[in-house]
Amino acid sequence: MLLWGSVSPMAFVPTSEKLIPDLSPREEIVLLARTLWREGYNDHLAGHITVNLHDGTLLCNPWMLLWNEIRPQDIIRIDLDGNVVEGDWPVPPGIPLHLELHKMRPGVEVAMHNHPLYGTVWADMCEVPPAMDQSSSLGGGELVLVDEYDGPVNDPAGARRAIEKMGDSELALLAGHGVFVLGASIRAVHQRAVALEQRCRHTWHVRAAGGTLNSCLPQGYVDRMKQSDGTSFKGFWEAMVRQELNADPDLLGDRR
């Protein structure tokens, strides 16, 4: 059986041509939001994406716009107290979770929160589903369950306690709420978020079909993939970006 990670994926990536244009951080946030919307991260106005600029500010998607309609000029810049430093839109109301994360774990570059269907169902059941197949394992990282409802989601003290409970993990099911995905880049968060929702969806269907939640994957493979930084699937992010740019050729505006 050939498993992702058993051969070098770079052997299949063309090196003589660019797969996507160079992207600014604002453009990357927009494309992450739009690609994940297609993957089920589409709970209406819910969801936050933050990118750490390491100057005491974060880039963030704005409140009041759906993830499939934001454009680069809509991205706001906020400080670690949640004040808008740059931009014309308000801050998402649940942003304290991100603010406390970036204060307590300053090495985290990108954080994403939303309420995808299957991830939220497992969070509602307060269970962590196992990774049943290779696609569900691609993002790497440790998935934990975090009960954050000892305070309102917009309360800094409650958000701080949730981050403490998360520890050093890169992925969390927020009990009765949704999911939280961290990574060192937009590319990593994209891969981890897609793999997480596949993991939750596939495991749900296995259980619904009457199957047992015992993965057929070799334990060595599972352990190796858990160490992935979220960038092992070469070309995946680029392919999904092309889908968005083909669907909306004017998304990035006139870049000449």
Is 174 within 8 Å of 123 (Cβ atoms)? yes
Three-state SS at 34: helix
Domain covering 22-247: architecture: 3-Layer(aba) Sandwich (3.40)
Per-residue confidence (pLDDT) for residue 232, from 0 to 100: 77
What is the rounded CA–CA span in Å between residue 112 and residue 119?
A: 13
Confidence of residue 228 (pLDDT cuts 50, 70, 90): confident
Per-residue confidence (pLDDT) for residue 136, from 0 to 100: 86
Per-residue confidence (pLDDT) for residue 254, from 0 to 100: 67
Distance from chain centroid for Cα 192 = 6
Q: Sketch the domain layout of the chain as residue ranges.
A: 22-247
- Any bridge partners for residue 110, and if so which? 51, 183
Share of the chain above pLDDT 70, in %: 91
Q: Is residue 55 over pLDDT 70?
A: yes
Q: At CA 59, angle to CA 139 and CA 171, rounded to 5?
A: 25
Summarised one tens digit per residue, pLDDT across range 235-255 is 999 999 999 999 999 999 866
Summarised one tens digit per residue, pLDDT across range 113-168 is 999 999 999 999 999 999 988 888 888 889 999 987 776 667 899 899 999 999 99
Q: Please give the helix or strand (H or E) that residue 58 lies within, else none.
A: strand 57-60
Task: Return the exposure string of 97-120: e unless at least 16 CB atoms fall within 10 Å of the residue's CB, then b.
Answer: bbbbbbeeeeebbbbbbbbbebbb
* pTM score, whole prediction: 0.90
Summarised one tens digit per residue, pLDDT across range 8-21 is 444 444 543 578 99
